[in-house]
Each structure stands twice: as structure tokens, then as C-alpha cells.
């Protein structure tokens, strides 16, 4: 499967939150289900980035690389994602907003997620298959070793009719 980036957008509000959005056109020689497309996404370079780290915990520092998408390591799997409709996604976000310990992050998160939901509706992607993953909902072994994010989530929308993949990340660091 081939992915071609056709749009990229980044937004940060103060130091409390950011949104990253990438839109890709995909091409495949065969008809695939959205689960199969997500599997291909997780194997490709469009979801994970290679990051360089240095471990200073030993007497002699050690440099290493990991594949990550901010807080998530490349150990995440399709089963870690919640497969949702747009309405279910909105309900899930409202549940997350009610979680304790948001502190000063909540108003910024609310603005960023509202902007993303509006963009999805304005661009008519609310009928695509939405996959959602939230750092607080998965095993700690699937997060990067030094996770400093106060919150992080990724949304993957697969719109088969027009062969588009939208990846939206929200986080606070």
C-alpha cells in the first residue's frame, strides 16, 4: 500500500496542548477493509517516527533509536485502538473530559479537540471509520520509556470512498 501526504497542520496553544493533523491519499492494488488499511498504516512510516534517545542512567551513556508516535511505542497494535463512529467518538471525548486531574490542561484540550471535531465535520470525514487510542487506556508497556505527556491520544480516520487517511494527534507535554 502506498501513502502520499497531501496536507499537514500543526497547532499549539500555550504550553498545555498541541494538535497535529496529516492527511494522506492511499493507493492499493486490492480492495481492503478499514482494519487492513490500519494494519498497513501501523507497518508504514506515516504513523511512527524514528526518534534518537540517550540513556544516561548507566556510567557510560547509551544512544538508541525507537519508533514512536509521541507517547506510544511501536508496540501498539490494532487491538489497542477503539473502533468508533463519530458520535461514539464524541461521547468518548466527553468521558475523557470528566476524568479527574485535568487541571489547567482541560480548557486548552477542549479548544483543540473542538477544532479537530469541527474540521472533521467541515471536511465531511464524520462517516469514515474512526480509530482512537488514548495513552491512559493502554498498557504502560506500550508507552515510550520516558513518557512526559500529561495526555496523548491519536485519531485515525479511514475514508475508503475517497481513499484518504487522516491522522490527528492531541497531546500536552
Instruction: Note the pLDDT of residue 25.
Output: 95
- Sign, CA torsion 135/13/112/123: negative
Instruction: Note the pLDDT of residue 70.
Output: 64
Write the burial class of residue 75 (CB in 10 Å: 0-12 exposed, 13-18 middle, 19+ buried).
Answer: middle
- Distance, in Å, from the CA atom of 10 to the CA atom of 110, rounded to the nearest integer, reads 16
Q: Is 12 helix (H, G, I), strand (E, B) or coil?
A: strand
Instruction: Note the pLDDT of residue 161.
Output: 86
Instruction: Note the pLDDT of residue 8.
Output: 92
pTM as predicted: 0.85
**C-alpha 167: how far from chain center:** 6
Identity of the highest mean pLDDT range in 23-32, 99-108, 125-134: 125-134
C-alpha cell at 142: 506500550
Identify the weakest region by mean pLDDT among 8-12, 65-69, 128-132. Answer: 65-69
Instruction: Note the pLDDT of residue 67.
Output: 59
Q: How far apart are the first and last CA of the chain?
A: 33
Residue 5 binned pLDDT confidence (cut-offs 50, 70, 90): very high
Task: Dump pLDDT digits (tens) for 158-173.
Answer: 998 899 999 998 988 7
Instruction: Note the pLDDT of residue 48.
Output: 64
Which has more confidence, 115 or 72?
A: 115
Instruction: Note the pLDDT of residue 95.
Output: 96
Task: Dump pLDDT digits (tens) for 68-103.
Answer: 566 676 788 899 999 999 999 999 999 999 998 888
Contacts (Cβ under 8 Å, ≥6 apart) of 15: 173
Q: Kindly report the average pLDDT of the chain as a whole number.
A: 85
For each of the domains in the chain, give its residue range(s) and CATH number, in order of start: 2-172 (3.40.1000)
Amino acid at each position: 500500500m502506498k501513502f502520499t501526504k497531501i496536507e499537514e497542520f500543526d497547532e499549539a496553544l500555550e504550553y498545555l496542548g498541541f494538535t497535529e493533523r496529516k492527511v494522506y491519499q492511499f493507493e492499493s492494488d486490492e480492495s481492503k477493509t478499514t482494519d487492513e488499511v490500519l494494519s498497513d498504516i501501523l507497518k508504514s512510516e506515516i504513523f511512527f517516527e524514528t526518534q534518537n534517545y540517550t540513556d544516561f542512567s548507566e556510567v557510560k551513556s547509551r544512544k538508541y533509536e525507537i519508533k514512536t508516535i509521541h507517547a506510544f511505542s511501536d508496540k501498539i497494535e490494532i487491538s489497542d485502538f477503539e473502533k468508533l463512529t463519530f458520535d461514539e467518538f464524541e461521547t468518548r471525548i466527553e468521558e475523557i473530559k470528566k476524568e479527574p486531574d485535568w487541571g489547567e490542561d482541560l480548557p486548552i484540550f477542549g479548544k483543540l479537540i473542538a477544532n479537530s471535531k469541527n474540521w472533521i465535520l467541515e471536511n465531511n470525514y464524520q462517516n469514515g471509520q474512526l480509530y482512537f487510542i488514548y495513552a491512559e487506556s493502554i498498557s504502560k508497556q506500550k508507552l515510550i520509556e520516558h513518557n512526559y505527556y500529561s495526555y496523548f491520544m491519536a485519531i485515525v480516520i479511514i475514508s475508503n470512498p475517497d481513499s484518504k487517511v487522516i491522522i490527528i494527534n492531541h497531546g500536552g507535554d
